[in-house]
């Protein structure tokens, strides 16, 4: 295209680029500088470059690795559970959604609720005196576990996250399932593939790209979890539920360990960038 | 018979997923005395006193302030994101500008944990006096919303027939004119969808609200927890339940109105992401 057009296009995209440069580019640079500086709340404007001490402090902090481990397990487990349940519901319940869509509206309601509020709601649901779950467990079984205690907090959070975000996976699979051409199903039925065989041989392979996308999105969201975990257990439960996001937040706000928090941010940034870059290359190669 | 099982499974899934909402709704209509004797799912003597308490402004708690903050911040974060993304999306689709660099970069931004920008943004805001202001939080919500809004608009503009542009160009309309007079109006459904999506996302955001606000600009997701510690003693669960319902209602209503569009949008976001 001619240069005048090029200029026009550039001008149209400039506001967005300028905004991102200021609001994300500048913070990214600040992150990099602070991560190699000796920094405290008193010396914010005159950071002294001090080498890689902050990174060493983070990498030797067992809390950092525990937070990584929590985020990784949390992201993987919730992504797998949400996709399995979501896929099952979308396929098994598909006939119910043929002529009506209100059941879908009911299933996706949890997606509209702020995860922070959802977490607070579970504080009520699981409360030992005011909560219905312990109430009924006591009434029916004469016993109720400490849902947010050190031993069960992790699994309670897994259930909380899974119940709120399974609808997301469900919606994706529902759309993918509806997009499968009806002729394909009919042809499969004529060839004798019905029920589970049809699902396994025909429908599932066609939905694999959706499955991959859903797993990835849910893993990322689970890995960076903050809101519901923070309001439910904080870093409590013996530190067993500190996600990486909570680790960075607490290093900064609670311990005023700015250097450590920033170094952890830079590590997380580098890792997510590397992972995303790799995934993009993979996706591009597969498309070819 | 099989359909009866399907309905049963649906009812069970719907009940389990919406359980916290049901519990909170039920509890919000119970008096403090009833909650202590009857924590179950049944209401013996429904009362509106919890909502009356929530809606009473005291010197420490002001639900209207939190709701106004959430609304202002979500509206700004949505409108600004659309205003920035629409011309850029047009340049990306029609001019193939930054198709290989800018677009993937912004799309990937959706997958980056935003907490990594939280600390420098906090420091920047402190320096610029933007801490605890709606303007500051609105700017952050714009960042949060830009990736998905851009994806939606790029998809929408790709679907606009190029002949429309050509016809207008022959009539001597400028690029900007085409964008605002022709492509923009044609994309109105996508614009509405992206705005509703952005509004819900921004309304529900918590991390930056927690970090960047303390009193004046507190959004309702953060302000709701203030009610938990309101009375000094234990949590007043009826009041807490009422405030959670109030805070969760606006995005739920928007979602119910728009749910058909939302599933399509999620698909578009997932496929591109």
pLDDT of amino acid A3: 60
Which site among A107, A114, A220 would you substitute to test the B interface, given the most B Cβ atoms closer than 10 Å to its Cβ?
A114
Rg (CA), chain B: 23
DSSP state of B112: S
Question: What does the alpha-carbon distance between residue A29 and residue B62 come to, in Å, rounded to a whole number?
Answer: 38
pLDDT of amino acid B248: 96
Higher model confidence: residue B6 or residue B235?
Answer: B6
Beta-carbon separation of B3 and A15 below 8 A: no
Question: What does the alpha-carbon distance between residue B258 and residue B250 come to, in Å, rounded to a whole number?
Answer: 12
pLDDT digits (tens, 9 = 90+) for A228-253: 999 998 766 567 889 999 999 998 88
State mean pLDDT over A180-199: 83
A155 within a domain of the structure (yes/no)? yes
- Residues forming beta bridges with residue A49, ordered by sequence position: A37
Question: What does the alpha-carbon distance between residue B124 and residue B20 come to, in Å, rounded to a whole number?
Answer: 38
pLDDT of amino acid A1: 45
Which site among A97, A116, A156 would you substitute to test the B interface, given the most B Cβ atoms closer than 10 Å to its Cβ?
A116
Average pLDDT, chain B: 89
pLDDT of amino acid A285: 76
**Using CB atoms and an 8 Å cut-off, which of residues 158-197 of chain A contact chain B?**
163-164, 166-168, 171-172, 174-176
Contacts 24+ apart (CB under 8 A), A152-156: A153/A232, A153/A233, A153/A236, A153/A237, A153/A240, A153/A241, A154/A70, A154/A73, A154/A74, A154/A237, A154/A240, A154/A241, A156/A122, A156/A126, A156/A232
Distance between B263 CA and the closest CA of chain A, angstroms = 6
B8 within a domain of the structure (yes/no)? no
Cβ atoms of B187 and A229 within 8 Å: the answer is no
Contacts of B235 in chain A (CB under 8 A): 127, 130
Question: What does the alpha-carbon distance between residue B237 and residue B31 come to, in Å, rounded to a whole number?
Answer: 9
A253 within a domain of the structure (yes/no)? no
Range of the domain at A100: 86-238
Collect all residues with Cβ–Cβ distance below 8 Å to B5 and sequence separation of at least 6.
none
Q: How many CB atoms lie within 10 A of CB B8?
A: 10
Collect all residues with Cβ–Cβ distance below 8 Å to B250 and sequence separation of at least 6.
B67, B70, B71, B203
pLDDT of amino acid B272: 55
Range of the domain at B201: 23-31+46-272
Question: What does the alpha-carbon distance between residue B37 and residue B30 come to, in Å, rounded to a whole number?
Answer: 11
Give the Cα-Cα-Cα angle B250, B119, A63 (nearest 5 degrees). Answer: 100
B74 within a domain of the structure (yes/no)? yes
Our count of domains for chain B comes to 1
A187 within a domain of the structure (yes/no)? yes
Beta-carbon separation of A105 and B19 below 8 A: no
Collect all residues with Cβ–Cβ distance below 8 Å to A197 and sequence separation of at least 6.
none
State mean pLDDT over A139-156: 88
Question: What does the alpha-carbon distance between residue A55 and residue A36 come to, in Å, rounded to a whole number?
Answer: 8
How sure is the predictor about B16, in pLDDT bands with cuts at 50, 70 and 90?
very high
Please tell me which of the candidates B14, B40, B139 has its beta carbon nearest to residue A136: B40
Distance between B241 CA and the closest CA of chain A, angstroms = 7
Q: How many CB pairs (< 8 A) connect A and B?
A: 288
How sure is the predictor about B273, in pLDDT bands with cuts at 50, 70 and 90?
very low
State mean pLDDT over B43-57: 92
Closest CA to A165 of A222, A104, A227, A103: A222
The proportion of chain A whose per-residue pLDDT surpasses 70, expressed as a percent, equals 95
pLDDT digits (tens, 9 = 90+) for B104-152: 888 888 888 888 888 889 988 988 999 999 999 999 999 999 999 999 9
The proportion of chain A whose per-residue pLDDT surpasses 90, expressed as a percent, equals 44
B232 within a domain of the structure (yes/no)? yes
Distance between B98 CA and the closest CA of chain A, angstroms = 9
**For residue A119, which phi and psi values (nearest 5 degrees)?**
-60, -45
**Using CB atoms and an 8 Å cut-off, which of residues 206-265 of chain A contact chain B?**
209-210, 213-214, 216-217, 220, 223-224, 226-227, 230-231, 244-245, 248-249, 252-253, 258, 261-262, 265
State mean pLDDT over B36-52: 91
pTM of the model as a whole: 0.91
A248 within a domain of the structure (yes/no)? no
Average pLDDT, chain A: 88
Our count of domains for chain A comes to 1
- Residues forming beta bridges with residue A38, ordered by sequence position: A48
pLDDT of amino acid A101: 84
Higher model confidence: residue B222 or residue B167?
Answer: B222
Handedness of CA A40, A42, A47, A49 (dihedral sign): negative
Helical (H) or strand (E) element with B90: helix B63-94
Contacts of A89 in chain B (CB under 8 A): 9-10, 13
CATH number for the domain spanning B166: value is: 1.10.3720.10
Contacts of A121 in chain B (CB under 8 A): 20-21, 23-24, 244
Tokens of B236: 């007043």
B142 within a domain of the structure (yes/no)? yes
Collect all residues with Cβ–Cβ distance below 8 Å to B231 and sequence separation of at least 6.
none
A42-56, A63-77, B125-139, B171-185, range with the lowest pLDDT:
A42-56
A255 within a domain of the structure (yes/no)? no
Q: What is the ipTM of this complex?
A: 0.92
- Residues forming beta bridges with residue A204, ordered by sequence position: none
A278 within a domain of the structure (yes/no)? no
Higher model confidence: residue B262 or residue A266?
Answer: A266
State mean pLDDT over A99-116: 92
DSSP state of B95: S
Confidence check: pLDDT of A187 > 90:
no
A181 within a domain of the structure (yes/no)? yes
Confidence check: pLDDT of B82 > 50:
yes
Question: What does the alpha-carbon distance between residue A58 and residue B263 come to, in Å, rounded to a whole number?
Answer: 41
Which site among A9, A34, A82 would you substitute to test the B interface, given the most B Cβ atoms closer than 10 Å to its Cβ?
A9
A207 within a domain of the structure (yes/no)? yes
Confidence check: pLDDT of A15 > 80:
yes
Q: Provide the CA B196 distance to its chain's centre, in angstroms.
A: 8
pLDDT of amino acid A78: 97
State mean pLDDT over B30-40: 89
CATH number for the domain spanning A196: value is: 1.10.3720.10
pLDDT digits (tens, 9 = 90+) for B217-259: 999 999 998 888 755 667 889 999 999 999 999 999 998 888 7
Please tell me which of the candidates A96, A262, A276 has its beta carbon nearest to residue B119: A262
How sure is the predictor about A287, in pLDDT bands with cuts at 50, 70 and 90?
low
């Amino acid at each position: 295209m001619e240069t005048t057009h090029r200029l026009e296009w550039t001008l149209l995209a400039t506001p967005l680029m300028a905004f991102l440069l200021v609001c994300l580019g500048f913070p990214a640079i600040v992150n990099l500088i602070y991560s190699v500086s000796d920094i405290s709340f008193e010396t914010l404007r005159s950071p002294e470059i001090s080498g890689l001490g902050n990174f060493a402090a983070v990498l030797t902090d067992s809390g950092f690795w525990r937070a990584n481990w929590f985020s990784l397990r949390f992201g993987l487990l919730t992504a797998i559970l949400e996709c399995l349940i979501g896929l099952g519901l979308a396929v098994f319940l598909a006939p119910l959604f043929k002529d009506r869509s209100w059941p879908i509206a009911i299933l996706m309601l949890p997606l509209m609720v702020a995860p922070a509020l959802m977490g607070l709601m579970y504080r009520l649901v699981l409360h030992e005196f005011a909560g219905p779950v312990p109430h009924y467990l006591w009434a029916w079984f004469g016993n109720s576990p400490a849902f947010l205690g050190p031993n069960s907090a992790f699994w309670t959070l897994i259930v909380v996250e899974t119940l709120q975000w399974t609808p997301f996976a469900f919606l994706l699979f529902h759309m993918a399932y509806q997009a499968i051409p009806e002729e394909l199903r009919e042809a499969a039925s004529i060839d004798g593939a019905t029920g589970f065989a049809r699902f396994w041989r025909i429908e599932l392979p066609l939905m694999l790209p959706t499955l991959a996308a859903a797993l990835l999105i849910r893993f990322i969201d689970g890995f960076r979890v903050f809101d519901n975990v923070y309001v439910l257990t904080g870093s409590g439960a013996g530190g067993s539920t500190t996600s990486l996001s909570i680790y960075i937040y607490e290093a900064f706000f609670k311990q005023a360990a700015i250097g450590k928090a920033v170094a952890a941010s830079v590590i997380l940034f580098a890792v997510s960038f590397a992972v995303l870059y790799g995934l993009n290359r993979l996706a591009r190669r597969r498309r070819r | 018979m099989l359909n009866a099982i399907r309905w049963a499974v649906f009812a069970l899934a719907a009940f389990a997923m919406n359980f916290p909402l049901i519990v909170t709704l039920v509890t919000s209509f119970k008096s403090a005395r009833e909650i202590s004797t009857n924590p179950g799912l049944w209401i013996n003597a429904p009362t509106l006193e919890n909502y009356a308490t929530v809606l009473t402004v005291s010197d420490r708690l002001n639900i209207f302030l939190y709701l106004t903050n959430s609304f202002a911040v979500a509206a700004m974060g949505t409108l600004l994101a659309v205003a920035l993304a629409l011309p850029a999306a047009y340049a990306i689709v029609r001019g193939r500008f930054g198709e290989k660099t800018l677009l993937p970069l912004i799309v990937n931004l959706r997958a980056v944990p935003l907490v990594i920008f939280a600390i420098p943004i906090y420091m920047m805001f402190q320096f610029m006096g933007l801490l605890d202001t709606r303007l500051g939080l609105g700017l952050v919500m714009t960042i949060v919303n830009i990736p998905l809004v851009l994806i939606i608009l790029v998809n929408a503009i790709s679907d606009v027939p190029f002949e429309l542009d050509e016809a207008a160009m022959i009539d001597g309309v400028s690029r900007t004119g085409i964008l605002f007079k022709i492509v923009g109006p044609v994309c109105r459904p996508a614009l509405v969808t992206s705005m509703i999506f952005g509004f819900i996302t921004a309304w529900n955001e918590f991390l930056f609200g927690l970090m960047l606000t303390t009193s004046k600009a507190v959004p309702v997701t953060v302000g709701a927890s203030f009610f938990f510690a309101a009375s000094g003693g234990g949590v007043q669960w009826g009041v807490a339940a009422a405030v959670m319902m109030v805070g969760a209602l606006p995005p739920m209503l928007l979602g119910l109105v728009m749910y058909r569009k939302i599933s399509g949008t999620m698909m578009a976001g997932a496929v591109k992401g």
